[in-house]
A = this chain, B = another copy of it.
Amino acid sequence: MNASRLLRDRIRAGEHTTVTTGLAPGHLQANLVVLPADWADEFAAFCAANPKPCPLIARSASGDPSLPELGPDIDVRRDLPRYRVFRDGKAVSEETDIGTLWRDDLVAFALGCSYSFESALLAAGVPIRHMEQGKKVCTYRTGLGTVPAGRLHGRMVVSMRNFTVPNAIRAIEITSRFPRVHGAPIHFGDPGAIGIADIDKPEYGGEPDIRAGEVPLFWACGVTPQAVIEAARPPFCITHKAGHMLVTDRLNEEFREA
């Protein structure tokens, strides 16, 4: 049995309830968004209009918790270590199993995640500071709008990684080959140009360690849909908790463009 299936089995059995970072290496990990069916087409349209922050990989049928193209046995109600539940746009609880919350009108969406390109960067010898230091990636709300779709609208959230200039060029080259998992960065250099007032104060993650001669690169982040949901306030929504991802049977390399 492959590593992703083994890990999902452990998660489903309640034996693993923490982050999936670095586990089942090589396997694509995905962000999860679950919405009522009457929001689903709008969310799909929002993803299509904003592929960099919302790279849609798979969508379930209404009421169906399986995503067979990502793994034949996947049950999104039990296969993630931790979920966030939103009511009217407000986070109201965290769960390790959403079986009792599942409804016949819910639709699950799996979105690409930066773990895929981070693994490609490391494989190419491009070091990632926050990973070397065992810290969380820094994310920021920006002043950049997204393309609205129906009731869904909001500003883009970005993640930041800092590099020397030669490694920044390599990072752009490499991540541009992964358009279905956020792709190339959307900005580098001056944080103020995208509405980040203070790079030392991320919304999530600790103070970054940016050294002389290094440049910050900003990627569209999979947290964006959570910010959009908070703004649009659908009556009900479930997402993964940051870092607690859906581990799929697909390989990151399948998402690299030739």
Contacts and interface: CB of A to CB of B under 8 A. Distances in A.
A225 B251 CA distance: 42
Contacts of A166: 186-187
Nearest to A194: B165
A213 B172 CA distance: 19
Contact of A193 (B165, B176, B189): B165
Contacts of A172: 169, 172-173, 176, 184
A236 interface: no
Contact of A173 (B173, B188, B190, B258): B173
Interface in A160-179: 165-166, 168-169, 172-173, 176
A185 interface: yes
B165 A188 contact: yes
Contacts of A215: 189
B186 A169 contact: yes
The oligomer's copy count stands at 2
A40 B222 CA distance: 53
Nearest to A183: B173
Interface string A209-239: 0000101000000000000000000000000
A193 B189 CA distance: 16
Contacts of A258: 257-258
Nearest to A170: B184
A184 B193 contact: no
A169 B193 contact: no
A173 B165 contact: no
Contacts of A173: 172-173, 176, 184
A97 B164 CA distance: 46
A169 B189 contact: no
Contacts of A168: 188
A257 B173 CA distance: 12
A108 B6 CA distance: 59
A191 to B, nearest CB: 11
A221 to B, nearest CB: 16
A185 B165 CA distance: 10
A39 B221 CA distance: 53
10 contacts: A165-B190, A169-B187, A169-B188, A172-B184, A173-B173, A173-B184, A176-B176, A189-B215, A190-B213, A193-B213
Interface of A: 165-166, 168-169, 172-173, 176, 184-190, 193, 213, 215, 257-258
